[in-house]
Structure 1
């Protein structure tokens, strides 16, 4: 029988391989979106860009309803049991079609509540097919991810994202506005859904929308907790935009949304990591919990080592980046960019804990916490936005996300039967290395920008590898000896 060490050696590289496959395409896709957003910010202006951002926040609410937790459930179920795949996907197809139709009136009502602009109502209705095609793509893309065919999902997503972005940029330069941009997005969303459908059809045969009662009952009864978590998580992280639109203006939303769009690649990278890790975590949680703990520890350390220095550089040069990318009109966005950099670093590094919770028996308890944390976020926004505008919204998100990160770690400890994920020492070393990097940037402020960055990166890498060579046992010995002295 395969021992724990052998299993860890075999499974961990597979998880890393899948992660790299998705991230390779994800980097290209997100850089393309950054390019589009930079152009859109300048050509649409603050007010129109704020409206564009609000439309996609509302579409996000609609998608959280349409998804109903079915995509993560699909990945979990197919990763554990691949039998009856055709009937399973047929029922998912039918459920998603019904939920898409139910989400449309919710979107229209939400647009009326959040805005008095007739233009926003029309654009939301125009965007409805985009929501539908994105939702219908979910079962087939999730099935491919569960089967660990990450190279295919990465290729399809990257290709169609680049086509979407290229079309959008061309339309902007030709003088078209938001309606035409949405039309281009809808066109490519249809073809992306069709591509996923044809790939799955080649493997399992023709799939028609269906509603097998037993499968539908199982799916809806098991997905609702994922749905609740998804809706709460979305509200938690995007309610600030909705409240700014209602309490302030589209222009304020534009200032707030600009740095968010700049960091969107990192935000979406954490979502991609969720999808990639889901099959591995789902199976290992049942077969080898101790091996899973070590895999999670390794991935958290790697993600933190990558994200912390990159986001420190972005935060340090926030004002320069905002002025260079968006222009003088968006100068106030620099303070929000700094706040978002810290949030992104935590989100990126700690995302494996979220995947772990979603696959555990603690999802309902985590849902209760998320409900209270979302209520706290809304309360803080109600208090801070009237006084501090978009900065208040950023502070509210920072506070509640910090709480969320700590609680995720505590839940992970409970899932591993009281054994804490061994990341403390690694994070302390990383913080020291990042601190030295920040100190280097401060001391070399007189030097040219390129030289500053190169020196800071060199100091970080040197400190990181030097500190990594110090074993945990040596640190523990020193601390123990000091206490005894």
Structure 2
């Protein structure tokens, strides 16, 4: 089989670099998120649904607050350091100066929000303690962004794994000693200090030093270019967490506990299948975009979006159909209502993973202001639907509001995204075939699930793969790209001894 010469191609060197970076981040993500996932499985039933709702509310406020000191600078710093590595020290200084001030503002903001929302004294006390991490994390986060821009993913991934192990270990020990949720937050602060010190050491070891005085030539454009992205990030987190904050406000901590438990599964799915790949490929996408006329950029966006749908669809079907069979064994009978939330919310995960591809593409194109308008509209829809649905149908209303808002976001992104090499007309035929495969897989799961849920869950992937091969969901250029990526992976030379394609891998 031959390659279509008109299709842009990623060179083997680029593919190998992307796979190496993705592998490092994937290993760190799998281990760290796996540990955190296991920790949540222990923490949820240990605390009970109401206390877990308090935990979820505090986490939601913290997550929204964290977007303020970050100020959307992470992607900008990564992009610019990847293009101009000699300016890493100047970006380090500018980002630290700005984010330290913003962290203080964020701490005041989340505590004021907890008070204005009418939350209990217990929640407000935990917010005050947890918010200290906002001040600590910026030092580690800035170093992390510089290292990612330098494509030193192995170093950052190693530190991330150690950080999570220490954090969970300290939190578990604090719970064992009877310190409860307060001990969990203190453990987070201590481990955050260790992470910041380790990342600083790696950066200094690589020759990057803070550059004083602050370079206004870098600082001013960094703030100006980050501002729309910062507002967009704030809006992303606000409508991603609005359902928890509003659930606590309208129906109490029990509803938030069920919602938070469902989000544990959703967040793990997004981190593993979306965030990992996007972070690893961001420098390569920035280089591919270049002056905006390289068709490779549009080609990459198309493939990443389509592959995201292909990979996430069977997982979405399994979690939606067998939600009760998954959540009750994981969290216990007290969290039985979590299944109703997960059944709906998992579709948000699939939609948002595709939306993240286009959000990153728009950011590479420096379209932060457009992203801002899209996110603002999404937040307005989310808040409005939550206010309407939560009092009427309970916690399921929060899940429905989130899905509808995210669908509106991705439609807006698709309507505004243009790039050389991108042709949306190529996608409908593939998506139609994928829809037939998904429908057949769903029917198979229902039939086999009636025998036993485990049977339906285990057989579903094989039915999905068989249907995809039969209907030709992946076309020639898809297989060519996969072939290059497989060849660049560790052990790939063994695979390509048996899987042959007429491609030149040495370019």
Q: TM-score, normalised by structure 1?
A: 0.90
Determine if the alignment matches structure 1 residue 25 to structure 2 residue 15: no
Hey, what does 2:335 align to over in structure 1? 330
Please state how far the C-alpha of 1:463 moved relative to its aligned partner. Answer: 0.9
> What is the CA–CA distance in structure 1 between the aligned matches of 2:162 and 2:367, rounded to whole Å?
37
Hey, what does 1:481 align to over in structure 2? none
CA RMSD of aligned residues (A): 2.4
Matched-pair contact (CA < 8 Å) for 1:266–1:348: no
Please state how far the C-alpha of 1:120 moved relative to its aligned partner. Answer: 2.1
Determine if the alignment matches structure 1 residue 465 to structure 2 residue 443: no
Matched-pair contact (CA < 8 Å) for 1:145–1:153: yes
> What is the CA–CA distance in structure 1 between the aligned matches of 2:432 and 2:21, rounded to whole Å?
28
Which residue of 250, 254, 262 corresponds with 2:253?
250
Q: Which moved more, 1:368-377 or 1:138-147?
A: 368-377
CA separation of 1:7 and 1:311: change in aligned 2, threshold 3 A: closer
Length, aligned pairs only: 470
Q: Aligned with 1:207: secondary structure?
A: coil
Gaps of 5+ in 1: 474-485
CA separation of 1:62 and 1:209: change in aligned 2, threshold 3 A: farther
Per-residue CA distance 1:401-459 (angstroms, 9 max, x = gap):
111122222333x2348732733333322222222111111122343444333332221
Hey, what does 1:114 align to over in structure 2? 117
> What is the CA–CA distance in structure 1 between the aligned matches of 2:422 and 2:288, rounded to whole Å?
18
CA separation of 1:54 and 1:470: change in aligned 2, threshold 3 A: closer
Hey, what does 1:190 align to over in structure 2? 193
Matched-pair contact (CA < 8 Å) for 1:293–1:421: no
Q: Aligned with 1:422: secondary structure?
A: helix
Hey, what does 1:362 align to over in structure 2? 367
Hey, what does 1:274 align to over in structure 2? 278
Q: Aligned with 1:148: secondary structure?
A: coil
Per-residue CA distance 1:245-281 (angstroms, 9 max, x = gap):
2222112111111111122212333333332232122
Which residue of 287, 293, 306 corresponds with 2:298?
293
Q: Which moved more, 1:440-449 or 1:259-268?
A: 440-449
Which residue of 345, 353, 356 corresponds with 1:351?
356
Hey, what does 2:50 align to over in structure 1? 47
Gaps of 5+ in 2: 1-5, 478-507
Q: Aligned with 1:204: secondary structure?
A: coil
Q: Aligned with 1:445: secondary structure?
A: helix
Per-residue CA distance 1:359-379 (angstroms, 9 max, x = gap):
114321232122122111111
Please state how far the C-alpha of 1:189 moved relative to its aligned partner. Answer: 0.8
Paired residues for 1:82-481 under 5 Å? 82-207=85-210, 211-269=214-272, 270-287=274-291, 289-412=294-417, 414-416=418-420, 419-420=423-424, 422-468=426-472
Q: Aligned with 2:451: secondary structure?
A: coil
Please state how far the C-alpha of 1:387 moved relative to its aligned partner. Answer: 0.7
Q: Which moved more, 1:245-254 or 1:425-434?
A: 425-434
Per-residue CA distance 1:199-229 (angstroms, 9 max, x = gap):
0111125437864434322221221011011
> What is the CA–CA distance in structure 1 between the aligned matches of 2:68 and 2:294, rounded to whole Å?
32
Matched-pair contact (CA < 8 Å) for 1:385–1:392: yes
Matched-pair contact (CA < 8 Å) for 2:77–2:145: yes
Please state how far the C-alpha of 1:112 moved relative to its aligned partner. Answer: 0.5
Which residue of 63, 66, 81 corresponds with 1:60?
63
Hey, what does 1:480 align to over in structure 2? none
> What is the CA–CA distance in structure 1 between the aligned matches of 2:119 and 2:380, rounded to whole Å?
25
> What is the CA–CA distance in structure 1 between the aligned matches of 2:473 and 2:80, rounded to whole Å?
41
Q: Aligned with 2:85: secondary structure?
A: coil
Q: Which moved more, 1:239-248 or 1:168-177?
A: 168-177
CA separation of 1:425 and 1:24: change in aligned 2, threshold 3 A: farther
Per-residue CA distance 1:52-92 (angstroms, 9 max, x = gap):
11111111121111111111110111112122221221222
> What is the CA–CA distance in structure 2 between the aligned matches of 1:417 and 1:455, rounded to whole Å?
37
> What is the CA–CA distance in structure 1 between the aligned matches of 2:280 and 2:441, rounded to whole Å?
31
